Amino acid sequence: MEKFEKLQGPIVLVGRILLSAIFISSGISKIFNWDGTAAYMTQAGMPAVTFFLLGAIALEVLGGFSVLLGLCPRLGAAALIVFLIPATLIFHNFWAIEDQMMRQMQMIMFMKNMAIMGGLLMVLGFGTGRFTIMDKFAPKKQ
């Protein structure tokens, strides 16, 4: 068990990198594919597309970097959960799809988002561990 404890910091760091990467890359891709993303949101029946698209980009990029860097990570994780809940329900509503193949694909996407929320809840509950920006500024233990 003691050997594993020495690896906790690096393991959690890799987990943070993997968890935040999807949000950072997705938020940035929304910027560069603004028109396509806006059209997709409109097709899904979203109102106030510009407002919600800007909000999605802000939550994904800022929340993703917050978790990645360990800078206010619980706030970042909460922001990403706030983003994921409606995004999952609106864009991956597999229960409303009749085509079996599309239904299966959207169910997988729904469950993927649920798993990501599980990881974010762990960050919310336990923090981000070592190797964070905050480590650089935290007072040294005597």
* All structural domains of the chain with their residue ranges: 2-132
Q: Which residues of 62-73 are buried (b: 16+ CB within 10 A; e: fewer)?
A: bbbbbbbbbbbb
pLDDT at 9: 87
User: Which tokens hold the place of 68?
Assistant: 């990645």
pLDDT at 142 (0 to 100) = 54
Helix ranges, 33-99 (H) = 34-43, 49-69, 73-91
Tokens of 22: 């999807």
Integer Cα distance of 44 and 66 in angstroms: 29
Q: Which parts of the chain sit beneath pLDDT 50?
A: none
| pLDDT at site 5 | 83
pLDDT of residue 20: 98
Residue 140: what pLDDT? Answer: 61
State the pLDDT at residue 141.
59
- Output the six-digit token pair for 86: 């409606």
